[in-house]
Amino acid sequence: MRVLGIETSCDETAASVVAIDGYAAPKILSNIVLSQIEEHAAFGGVVPEIAARAHVEALDGIIEAALADSGTALADIDAIAATAGPGLVGGLIVGLMTAKAIAAAANKPLIAINHLEGHALTARLTDGLDFPYLLLLVSGGHTQIVAVRGVGDYQRWATTIDDALGEAFDKTAKMLGLPYPGGPNVEKAAQAGNASRFAFPRPMKGSAQPDFSFSGLKTAVRQAASAIAPLSDQDVADICASFQAAVADALADRVSRALTRFRETFPGTKNPALVVAGGVAANRTIKIMLERLCAEIGFTFIAPPLKLCTDNAAMIAWAGVERLRAGMAHENGFDLVPRSRWPLDSISAPMVGSGRRGAKA
Ligand code: KG4
Ligand code: ZN
């Protein structure tokens, strides 16, 4: 079985072919990602109109390249899987309409994929993980803990009540005059910094409510920075290190609660696992904290290769494979419309004020 995946929900134009043959491990036959970072950098963030136009210009070529790289003719593809949400609606329209056109012209089934489901199922593509497991998604637009129980069967246990974690990194960088995207630059600056110089708040730490919050921390960073302005390089490094320490500490509290809850909810799980996804998973301080926490509580820690943690189309193709195998592709069709908001778990109430950027996942 071979599935072509298409991803255009934010600022990456991506296409991939994933194959599965019986019980053998799945194979990523091609995985092409074109980042638009340079187009958006001057604006300090993703500009939806620029993103949509860039997708239109690039997508055909990226799909052609993904097919060529995989050595697969369109006729030999079993289905087309495209991200239908959540994300920036302009990009979603480009991806979904292109997928519909290809599916109609080549007479192939079309599977609409929730971008978050792509992230959620990646560890089954990379590590053959069995259900259930726990997912920590930390990206520029989402900060969620999800119990992954099966294909299409997700329970969101926690989300952010304001900013996403990557967004907090990006905004901190902006305040300190560091370039976009902020996360990697904050991490780099923090290496030379003193993490205990500023006692930033640990949002939600100790709260019985499972969710995340980062806007208060952002405000504390702003106040600390303006109190000692103009900032020297050492000041910036110290703020970054202190910010990162606060984030890791707050995250550890939230995640350890979820690990305990997972044990209580799924007591029969032999090898419980925590999977991390999203761009913030690149952060070493956070990764080391998660590794330590999992070792303490008795979980296997799985961090798929960064290329598959950040936005890509292999995860979308793979979600298509999973849905086809599970006989769930029939839910989708040509009448599908893009959904800029599309919770993975339709039961959890939407969080008021959350995901204002809503673009990324
Ligand atoms: O998953 P991703 O590539 O795109 C989506 O948001 O979907 O994540 C990008 C986010 C940005 O906010 C970026 O600043 C953050 O991940 N990020 C990091 C690091 N690398 C990327 N945050 C902290 N430390 C990093 N090393
Ligand atoms: Zn994403």
Ligand 2 centre distance from Cα of residue 194 (Å) = 31
Handedness of CA 179, 181, 186, 187 (dihedral sign): negative
**How confident is the model at residue 43, as a pLDDT?**
85
> What type of residue sits at position 232?
S
Are 209 and 261 in contact by the 8 Å Cβ rule? The answer is no
Q: How far is CA 110 from the centre of its chain?
A: 23
Task: For ligand 1, say whether the CB of 279 is within 6 Å of any of its atoms.
Answer: yes
In angstroms and rounded to an integer, the radius of gyration of the C-alpha atoms of the chain is 20
Buried b / exposed e over 126-155, threshold 16 CB at 10 Å, is: bbebeebbbbbbbbbbbbbbbbbeebeebe
Which of 174, 280, 283 to mutate for ligand 1's pocket (most ligand atoms within 8 Å of CB)? 280
8 A C-beta contact, residue 146 and residue 138: no
- Exposure of 91 by Cβ count < 10 A (0-12 exposed, 13-18 middle, 19+ buried)? buried
Number of the ligand closest to the Cα of 360 = 1
Which tokens hold the place of 22? 């019986």
Å from CA of 329 to ligand 1 middle: 31
> Do the Cβ atoms of 244 and 214 come closer than 8 Å?
no
Separation between Cα atoms, residue 63 and residue 54, nearest integer Å: 14
Residue closest via CA to ligand 1's atom 22 equals 183
Nearest atom in ligand 1 to the alpha carbon of residue 142 is 6
Q: Which atom of ligand 1 is nearest to the CA of 361?
A: 7
Instruction: Tell me the average pLDDT of the chain.
Output: 93
44 CB within 6 A, ligand 1? no
- Rounded Cα distance, 162 and 205, in Å: 15
DSSP 8-state assignment for residue 75: G
pLDDT in tens, 101-147: 999 999 999 999 999 999 999 999 999 999 999 999 999 989 999 99
pLDDT exceeds 70 at position 194: yes
Can you give the pLDDT at residue 345? 85
Q: Report yes or no: 19 and 68 within 8 Å, Cβ to Cβ.
A: no
Cα distances (angstroms) measured from residue 219 to each of 171, 203, 216, 243: 10, 12, 5, 11
The 3-class SS string of 99-161 reads HHHHHHHHCCCEEEEEHHHHHHHHHHHHHCCCCCEEEEEECCCCEEEEEEEECCEEEEEECEC
Q: In this predicted model, what pLDDT tens digit does every residue of 37-75 receive, in sequence order?
A: 888 888 878 889 999 999 999 999 999 999 999 999 999
Q: Considering only CA atoms, which residue is closest to atom 13 of ligand 1?
A: 183
Measured in Å, residue 259 CA sits from the centre of ligand 2 at 22
CA of 252 to the centre of ligand 1 (A): 18
pLDDT in tens, 302-317: 999 999 999 999 999 9
Which of 10, 139, 251 maximizes ligand 1 atoms within 8 Å of its Cβ, making it the mutation to test the pocket?
Answer: 139
Q: Could you tell me if 52 and 90 are in contact, meaning their C-beta atoms sit under 8 angstroms apart?
A: yes
* E strand intervals along the chain: 2-7, 12-19, 27-35, 79-85, 110-114, 133-138, 143-150, 153-158, 273-277, 300-302
Residue to probe by mutation, ligand 1, list 114, 169, 244, most atoms within 8 Å of CB: 169
Query: CA triplet 118, 129, 360: central angle to 5 degrees?
Result: 20
In terms of pTM, does the model score above 0.75? Answer: yes
d(CA 89, CA 52): 8
Tell me how far the alpha carbon of residue 277 lies from the centroid of ligand 2, in angstroms.
8
When pLDDT is averaged across residues 206-211 and rounded to a whole number, the result is 94
Q: What percent of the chain has pLDDT over 90?
A: 85
Judge if the upstream peptide bond of residue 181 is cis by omega within 30 degrees of 0: yes
Q: Kindly indicate the confidence band of residue 360, based on its pLDDT and cuts at 50, 70 and 90.
A: very low
Torsion angle of the four alpha carbons 314, 316, 319, 325, in this order, in degrees rounded to the nearest 10 = -80
